[in-house]
Structure 1
Amino acid sequence: MKDIIVGVDIGATKMHIGAIKDSKIFKDLVIATSANAPEKQIIDELIEGIESLCGHDFVGIGIGVPGLIDEEQGIVYDLWNIPSWKEVYLKDSLEKHFKKPVRITNDANTFALGEKKYGQGKTYKNFVGVSLGTGYGTGIIINHELYSGTLSGAGELANIPYLDRTIEDYCSGKFFKLQYQREGAEVFEKAEQGDPEALKIFDEFGKHLAESLKLILYILSPEAIILGGSISRSFKYFEKSLMETINTFPFKRILKRVKIFPSAMPDVSVLGSAAMLDK
Structure 2
Amino acid sequence: MGRKKKKFILGIDLGGTKILMGLFDRKFGLKKTVKLEMDGNRGEKFFFNKLIDGIEEVLEETGSDLSDLVTIGIGCPGIIDIYTGTVKVSSNVSFFKNYPLAEKLKAKLRVPVFIENDANAALFGEQQFGAARGHGEVVGVFLGTGIGGALIINGHLYRGVSGGAGEIGQTFLSIPSVSDFETTRLKVGALVGRNAIASEAGFLLLRQKCPHLLEEIGYNVKKIRSGALSRAIRAGDTALEDLIRSRSRWLGVALANVVNVLNPELVLLGGGMMEAMGKIILPEVRSGIEACALKPLMKALKVVPSRLKDNAVILGASKMACEILKMTQK
Equivalent pairs: percent with the same residue? Answer: 29
1:192 corresponds to 2:196: no
Task: Give the corresponding residue for 1:273.
Answer: 317
Structure 1 pair 151/50, CA: closer, same or farther in 2 (3 Å)?
farther
Task: Give the corresponding residue for 1:8.
Answer: 12
Runs (4 or more) in structure 1 with deviation over 6 Å come to none
Structure 1 residue aligned with 2:306, among 243, 252, 263? 263
Task: Give the corresponding residue for 2:218.
Answer: none
Task: Give the corresponding residue for 1:249.
Answer: 292
1:174 corresponds to 2:198: no
C-alpha deviation, 1:239, in angstroms: 3.5
8 Å CA contact retained: 1:128, 1:222: yes
8 Å CA contact retained: 1:20, 1:26: yes
1:146 maps to a residue whose letter is L
Q: Identify unmatched segments of 5+ residues in structure 2.
A: 60-64, 175-184, 203-220, 324-330
C-alpha deviation, 1:186, in angstroms: 3.2
Q: Distance in 1 between matches of 2:295 and 2:74?
A: 39
Alignment root-mean-square deviation, CA: 1.9
8 Å CA contact retained: 1:14, 1:32: yes
Q: Distance in 2 between matches of 1:34 and 1:252?
A: 44
Task: Give the corresponding residue for 1:92.
Answer: 103
Q: Alignment partner of 1:84: what SS? A: coil
1:3-38 CA deviation, whole Å, 9 max, x = no partner? Answer: 411100002221111101222321011122242222
Q: Distance in 2 between matches of 1:144 and 1:67?
A: 23
Larger radius of gyration: 2
1:190 maps to a residue whose letter is A
Structure 1 pair 218/95, CA: closer, same or farther in 2 (3 Å)?
same
C-alpha deviation, 1:201, in angstroms: 1.7
Q: Distance in 2 between matches of 1:259 and 1:221?
A: 11
Q: Which residues of 2 match residues 13-52 of structure 1 at below 5 A?
A: 13-21=17-25, 22-52=27-57
Q: Distance in 2 between matches of 1:148 and 1:161?
A: 20
Q: Which residues of 2 match residues 36-185 of structure 1 at below 5 A?
A: 36-54=41-59, 55-56=65-66, 57-163=68-174, 165-181=186-202, 183=224, 184-185=226-227
C-alpha deviation, 1:250, in angstroms: 4.5
Structure 1 pair 190/82, CA: closer, same or farther in 2 (3 Å)?
same
Q: Alignment partner of 2:292: what SS? A: coil
Q: Which residues of 2 match residues 205-216 of structure 1 at below 5 A?
A: 205-216=247-258
C-alpha deviation, 1:128, in angstroms: 1.6
2:314 maps to a residue whose letter is V
C-alpha deviation, 1:87, in angstroms: 2.6
Q: Alignment partner of 1:276: what SS? A: helix
C-alpha deviation, 1:74, in angstroms: 0.6
Q: Distance in 2 between matches of 1:130 and 1:121?
A: 12
Return the structure number with greater helix share.
2
8 Å CA contact retained: 1:63, 1:103: yes
TM score, norm. by length of structure 1: 0.92
How many equivalent residue pairs?
A: 279
Q: Distance in 1 between matches of 2:87 and 2:34?
A: 22
Q: Alignment partner of 2:69: what SS? A: coil
8 Å CA contact retained: 1:109, 1:139: yes
8 Å CA contact retained: 1:24, 1:271: no
1:205 maps to a residue whose letter is R
C-alpha deviation, 1:43, in angstroms: 2.4
Q: Alignment partner of 1:153: what SS? A: coil
1:202 corresponds to 2:244: yes
Q: Identify unmatched segments of 5+ residues in structure 1.
A: none
Q: Distance in 2 between matches of 1:25 and 1:11?
A: 19
Q: Distance in 2 between matches of 1:125 and 1:3?
A: 31
TM score, norm. by length of structure 2: 0.79
1:238 corresponds to 2:281: yes
Structure 1 pair 250/259, CA: closer, same or farther in 2 (3 Å)?
closer
8 Å CA contact retained: 2:119, 2:148: yes
Return the structure number with greater strand share.
1
